[in-house]
Amino acid sequence: MELTAIHTRHSIKRCQQRGVTEQMIEDTIHFGEMIRKQGLRYFIMTKKCLSYFHQKQYNERVQNTVVILNPDNSILTVYKNSKALKNIKLKPKIHYR
């Protein structure tokens, strides 16, 4: 998947706070599992997705990274959560405001 993602101010701040690098974001978008919910795209780097990488130290660091993209391909936020896949799947399909 060829994707050019642009950071929002919020995502830049969260990356700095959480120690998430550009490489981790790119790998999560390209190799992670994607779920569409609430008009957003959630990319999750699950343990299953880590078979592409052979560096144990990097695998431990990138595992459970979540990148959320807006419809315009801007990065909404980035975080790490070991139960992210389960939590995202439980979200309603439509976001009510």
> b/e string for 36-50 if b means 16 or more Cβ within 10 A?
ebeebbbbbbeeebb
CA distance 31 to 47: 11
Q: How many domains does the chain have?
A: 1
Q: What is the pLDDT of residue 3?
A: 66
**Does the structure show a pLDDT above 60 at 1?**
no
Q: What is the pTM of this model?
A: 0.86
Is 95 within a domain? Answer: no
**Does residue 35 lie within any of the structural domains?**
yes
Per-residue pLDDT reduced to its tens digit, 38-93: 899 999 999 888 887 778 888 999 999 999 999 999 999 999 999 988 888 888 87
Residue 1 included in any domain: no
Average pLDDT for residues 3-7, to the nearest whole number? 79
Q: What range defines the domain where residue 20 resides?
A: 6-90
